[in-house]
Amino acid sequence: LLVDKGNHRHFMAKEIYEQPEVISHTFGHYLDLADETVSLPELPFDAKEVQHISITACGTALYAGAVAEYWLERFGRVPVSTDIASEFRYRETPLAPGGVTIVISQSGETADTLASLRYAKECGQKVVAVVNVPTSTIAREADVVLPILAGPEIGVASTKAFTCQLATLACLSVAFGRAKGVLSAEDEHKLVRAFMEVPRLMTEALKLSPEIEVLARTLAKARDVLYLGRGTNYPLALEGALKLKEISYIHAEGYAGGELKHGPIALIDEKMPVVVIAPHDRIFDKTVSNMEEVAARGGKIILVTDPKGAEAAPVNAVQKLILPEMPATVCPMVYSIPVQLIAYHTAVIMGTDVDQPRNLAKSVTVE
């Protein structure tokens, strides 16, 4: 293999740390920096006419799709449904001709995702493939390929592919927003400038690593960990829980903040850490209520937020990881860094095989 770990102990650490660089390649590919516009390859459909988008994938790629659902609906004002590929392929969901299906896959070989692509094509959908391996089966069979340009990912648990998928999908969402006439030229310029800040913001986020290493000592003692988020931070909560499960074998669940009352609150006690992913956005107040509910039951909170969020958070029982303030659209990309580092450091303390976790495969080509 031509890829090595450099100075890192694990491929996963190397792949977490190279994100500022690789994501700048992804953005470099999909942005026209001089014009401050998004510039995609020619699409095999008129985005203005698209009435429905379905997104389908597995694992981490599915959560990238779940974030993109928020962006496509917000910027493109087009209804989106996101579904697990193994459900989508068998559900016989009606797909009206003229729709678009986005399949997302790091490897481009995942069996259920490939079957979903074929189902979508049979239903007359135009298929956009967001892949890391441009020579893969999924890339070959799609109508258009948007490579994420993350470079080879060796760690079984996906990290840099996730953030590069997000970068690619963010650019696609802006392209829909422009085609649909929802985003003005000025809106687009602003978003492009925000995207250009992502590598710098990620570099800042990586500086939280020593703090996270300390926090991970507490997490490593937990039997269960709950992750909460709202809006695009909800799929990020799902991804955080997945990462922790995959590599540390600690049971974790991701929940939308508003669903706390509908079940997981019953689990809260002083033994269950709750990771809350919440920049100070327009729904931050709602998340404060969630944190108060957790604190009232003795739950320990790890809040991933920005300076304003840190100030507004309840004082008791909250440990804070503070990121710089940033536009909401780039949050899922930058907040991925502490989320990945939480799982990584916890797993290292647990002494698991971080790059080759038990029972998992990098690419799942059988059902």
Which is nearer to ligand G6P, 60 or 336 (by Cβ)?
Answer: 60
**3-state SS class at 211:** helix
Q: Which of 22, 27, 98, 90 is nearest to 56 (CA)?
A: 90
State yes or no: residue 158 binds ligand G6P (CB under 6 A): yes
State yes or no: residue 287 binds ligand G6P (CB under 6 A): no
**3-state SS class at 335:** helix
Site map (CB under 6 A) of ligand G6P, residues 102-141, x = contact: ---xxx--x--x----------------------------
Cβ density class 69-91: b for 16+ within 10 Å, e for less: bbbbebbbebebebbbbbebbee
Separation CA 223–CA 184 (nearest Å): 49
| Least Å from the CB of residue 110 to ligand G6P | 3
Q: How far is CA 295 from the centre of its chain?
A: 27
State yes or no: residue 340 binds ligand G6P (CB under 6 A): no
| Least Å from the CB of residue 144 to ligand G6P | 18
Active site residues: 362
- CA distances to 9, 352, 353 from 349, rounded to whole Å, are 13, 8, 11
Q: From the list 13, 61, 171, 260, which residue makes contact with ligand G6P (rule: CB under 6 A)?
A: 61
Stretch that binds ligand G6P, among 30-38, 150-158, 219-227, 254-262 (CB under 6 A): 150-158
Which is nearer to ligand G6P, 15 or 281 (by Cβ)?
Answer: 15
| Total interface residues for ligand G6P by CB under 6 A | 16
Provide the β-strand partners of residue 83. 56
Report CA Rg, the chain. 20
| Least Å from the CB of residue 58 to ligand G6P | 4
Query: Which residue ranges make up the site for ligand G6P (CB under 6 A)?
Result: 58-61, 105-107, 110, 113, 156-158, 360, 362-364
